[in-house]
């Protein structure tokens, strides 16, 4: 751990979506709102985070669009469902930024490139990356946060991902609610 998590005000939380907020569909994509399933404890975690972080943003690669498996409109419907359910549970997500580009496109907006972070900063000028946390479940998420100077938090317990993130990972939690509970203990 290179830097320390604190509960002081002025921090931004960046979250990946698939595998962190919702259940990842193996070898497929969430293409319709009815396929979007929250991981247990996520809504409660987001309710906790909404009192700690401002803003809370989601940054997600969605190459299903680039592959022609879904449209921007379908993705928007999925995100509307996600935002509505989070809000109903007392939490909030202030914005969702996504890249529709294919993995091999070398797109500036596709994580681990930093474009989605820069888009977020443009919409929320109060964001300071040194006072931001990136929580994700893949090496790509952790590298994205590291490249922007954020604290990095791996969500999940995959040993392969943990070992690949060695040297750029600050914290690791089995799930989002464990991360949120850790923050509650800091207060």
**Those residues with Cβ within 8 angstroms of residue 43's Cβ, 6 or more apart along the chain or in another chain:** 85, 86, 89, 91
Buried b (16+ CB within 10 A) or exposed e, 52-74: bbbbbbbbbbbbbbbeeebeeeb
pLDDT exceeds 50 at position 1: no
The residues annotated with a catalytic role in the active site are 16, 18
Q: What is the DSSP letter of 46?
A: H
Structural domains for the chain: 12-186 (3.40.50.1000)
Q: What is the DSSP letter of 98?
A: E
Residue-wise pLDDT tens digits, 118-165: 999 999 999 999 999 999 999 999 999 999 999 999 999 888 888 899
pLDDT exceeds 60 at position 21: yes
Q: How many helices (H) and strands (E) does the chain have?
A: 7, 6
């Amino acid at each position: 751990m290179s830097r320390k998590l604190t509960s002081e005000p002025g921090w931004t939380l960046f979250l990946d979506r698939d595998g962190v907020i919702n259940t990842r569909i193996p070898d497929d994509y969430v293409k319709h709102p009815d396929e979007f399933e929250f991981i247990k404890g996520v809504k409660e975690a987001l309710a906790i985070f909404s009192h700690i972080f401002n803003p809370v943003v989601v940054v997600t690669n969605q190459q299903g669009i680039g592959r022609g498996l879904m449209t921007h409109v379908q993705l928007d419907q999925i995100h509307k469902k996600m935002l509505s359910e989070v809000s109903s549970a007392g939490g909030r997500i202030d914005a969702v930024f996504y890249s529709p580009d294919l993995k091999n496109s070398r797109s500036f907006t596709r994580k681990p490139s930093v474009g989605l972070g820069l888009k977020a900063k443009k919409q929320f000028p109060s964001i300071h990356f040194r006072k931001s946390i990136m929580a994700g479940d893949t090496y790509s998420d952790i590298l994205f946060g590291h490249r922007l100077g954020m604290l990095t938090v791996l969500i999940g317990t995959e040993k392969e991902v943990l070992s690949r993130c060695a040297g750029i990972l600050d914290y690791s939690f089995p799930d989002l609610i464990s991360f949120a509970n850790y923050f509650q203990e800091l207060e």
